[in-house]
Every structure is written in structure tokens, then in C-alpha cells.
Amino acid sequence: MIYEVEIVTQRKVATGCYRLEMYAPEVAQTAQPGQFLMLKTSITLDPLLRRPFSINTVDRDRGLVKILYRVVGRGTALLAGRKLGRRLSIFGPLGRGFTVPANGRFLVVAGGLGIAPLYFLIQRLKALGNEVVVFYGAQNRFKLLLLEELAAMRVELFTATDNGSSGHKGTVVDLLRTKGIPPADLIYAAGPPPMLKALAALLREAEMPRAEFSLEERMACGAGACRGCAVKVIAEEGPVYKRVCADGPVFLAGEVVWE
Ligand SMILES: Cc1cc2nc3c(=O)[nH]c(=O)nc-3n(C[C@H](O)[C@H](O)[C@H](O)COP(=O)(O)OP(=O)(O)OC[C@H]3O[C@@H](n4cnc5c(N)ncnc54)[C@H](O)[C@@H]3O)c2cc1C
Ligand code: FES
């Protein structure tokens, strides 16, 4: 569904990173962790295509939905300049999200902006009484976002930064390798493709294949029609292409062909 919603707040959370809150009661009611929205970033036809953003959190009672994003190009720069109270055209919620079981212990591995969809997942897992361990890596401590919110949720949190300014010096996958992968009923991850690829390899070595990864590909339609967001996965009949927007963005780590 396409909705014209109001921008309620837009806060800079780190250099080049923003958290935008919109009043979108229908989306707040139905959105599941791992789903995303296609947003029209400007009020003109340029850029023409909507941009995909994970749903970062929802407040069902107040009808609010947040996204967390980094400015990387023209669309996101225009979005960062959008004024409060103005209308924003959104399409969604879209895609297949994460499995959210109850009564278990779960490991969440986030790299950079991968925390955007995982934060919503962690909230839901905690609300169902689960134990959640979070491994979170970024370039430096200023790029570790939502730390206070994560602490308030009482998750067990381990951080890694490339320059050692918070937690382990190195990648979050190095940290998992060093500390050992904690026992978990299911592992979830989102982050840059090299991190996901390295994590998939580590999990394979450790014979822990039960993992759900959220993937990103450039998207045009966001709704399964253009096939522009294909990812190669293993099916019974051999490798096939699936659409990240409609068949994902969440896939089993073991089914993805990491190229
Ligand atoms: C399902 C999904 C969820 C996403 N969730 C978030 C989120 O929560 N927060 C966030 O900051 N970003 C997220 N992204 C990425 C976001 O959609 C892109 O950063 C955005 O579309 C860039 O638009 P732009 O016009 O600013 O950049 P463009 O001018 O279109 O591109 C600028 C640069 O970013 C690269 N880029 C653009 N889109 C993608 C993409 N989808 N994957 C990888 N690289 C890309 C381009 O190759 C180019 O180098 C998500 C993407 C997908 C597919
Ligand atoms: S973006 Fe069009 S099929 Fe996925």
C-alpha cells in the first residue's frame, strides 16, 4: 500500500546518519521486523525511483514508524533535508521479515547500518521474553548507533570497531571468532555484504547453519515486478535467482550463494 504520511521528527544521530519518525498508523500496526519501506525521497520526480529503508522500530499505540539511515547519495541527501510536518510518500511494509520465536536464546550480529532492521527484531524478541545476545561492529565508536536504547533493553552487548575505539579492535566477525559463538537457537545478521559473507563462512565452519540474514540489493520497484534485485540461492534443482524485495530481504544464510 502507498501512504502519504507526515514526518514527525528527524534527528541527526551521528555524522551523516539520521533517524526519521513518521506518523503511519497502518504500517505501525502491521510491520514485522526485517520488512522495509520504499520511500519517495523528494517531492519532485527527481530522483524518480523510491529508495528502500528497513523499518527501524514502530510504536503501535501512537501510530509511529522510524527509519534509521545514512546519507550515501542524492536520494538520502534529499531525505535528510525534508522538513518536519511535511508529507512523505511511502510504499510498504514490504518483504519477508525475520522469524520471531518465543522462549529461546538468540544471537544478533549487526554491522554498521545493519542495526536498523535488527533493532526492531531485538525489541520484538525481548518483548516475547527471549534472551538476546548482540554482537555489534562499526568503523568507530561514533558509528555504533542506538547503544543507549540497546542498553535499556538489557541485552548482552559486545562491540567491535575497526579502530578499537569501542570494544574489540577488528571486525565483529573477528570478535565472534575470538570469543566463540555463543549458543543460540537461531542467529540473525544484517550488515555490509563482506561481513555477511565472512559470517556465513564462520557459521559453516562452526556447523551452526541456522541463521537468517537480511540482504540488500539496489531496488527499482521494491515489489517483485522488475527482477532488478536478484540474488543467487541454492534450491533443490540447483542455483536459482530470487528477488531480495519479494522473496526476502531475509534469507537463510545457508541458501545464499556468496560470490
Ligand atoms: C531492503 C533494504 C533495506 C535497506 N535499509 C536501509 C536502512 O535501514 N538504512 C540505510 O541507510 N540504508 C538502507 N538501505 C540502503 C538504501 O536503500 C540506500 O542507501 C539508498 O537507496 C541510497 O539512495 P541514494 O539515492 O542516496 O544513493 P544512490 O545515489 O542511489 O547511490 C549512492 C551509493 O550507494 C550505493 N547503494 C545504493 N543503494 C544501495 C543498496 N540497496 N545496497 C547497497 N548499496 C547501495 C550505490 O551503489 C552508490 O554507490 C536498504 C536497502 C535495501 C535493499
Ligand atoms: S526491486 Fe523490482 S523485483 Fe525487486
pLDDT of residue 209: 67
| Residues 84 and 112 sit within 8 Å (Cβ to Cβ) | no
Q: Is the Cβ atom of 92 under 6 angstroms away from ligand 1? A: no
- Summary mean pLDDT of the chain: 96
Atom of ligand 1 nearest to the CA of 41: 25
pLDDT of residue 59: 98
pTM: 0.96
- Average pLDDT (167-171) is 97
- Average pLDDT (138-160) is 96
Sequence letter at residue 130: N
Q: List Cβ neighbours of 150 (8 Å cut-off, separation of 6 or more).
A: 119, 122, 134, 136, 157
Q: Residue of the nearest CA to atom 6 in ligand 1? A: 53
Alpha-carbon distances of 166 from 115, 139, 142, 144, 161, rounded to whole Å: 16, 10, 9, 9, 6
Domains plus CATH for the chain? 2-94 (2.40.30.10), 105-211 (3.40.50.80)
Chain segment 48-78, per-residue pLDDT in tens: 899 999 999 999 999 999 999 999 999 999 9
Q: Is the Cβ atom of 62 under 6 angstroms away from ligand 2? A: no
Chain segment 97-134, per-residue pLDDT in tens: 999 999 999 999 999 999 999 999 999 999 999 999 99
pLDDT of residue 222: 96
Atom of ligand 2 nearest to the CA of 225: 3
pLDDT of residue 83: 87
How many helices (H) and strands (E) in the chain? 6, 16
DSSP 149-174: HHHHTT-EEEEEETTSSSSEES-HHH
CA distance linking residue 181 with residue 190, whole number of Å = 16
Residue 91 confidence (pLDDT) above 70:
yes
pLDDT of residue 231: 97
Residue % of the chain over a pLDDT of 70: 100
Around Cβ 175, how many Cβ atoms within 10 Å? Answer: 20
Q: Residue of the nearest CA to atom 5 in ligand 1? A: 53
CA angle 130, 136, 139 (to 5 degrees): 170
pLDDT of residue 45: 86
Chain segment 76-85, per-residue pLDDT in tens: 999 999 988 8
| Residues 139 and 70 sit within 8 Å (Cβ to Cβ) | no
Q: How far is the CA of 142 from the centre of ligand 1 (A)?
A: 20
Q: Is the Cβ atom of 13 under 6 angstroms away from ligand 2? A: no
Model confidence band, residue 259 (pLDDT cutoffs 50, 70, 90) = confident
Q: Residue of the nearest CA to atom 23 in ligand 1? A: 75
Residue 89 confidence (pLDDT) above 80:
yes
Residue 9 confidence (pLDDT) above 70:
yes
Q: How far is the CA of 237 from the centre of ligand 1 (A)?
A: 32
Q: Residue of the nearest CA to atom 47 in ligand 1? A: 218
pLDDT of residue 86: 84
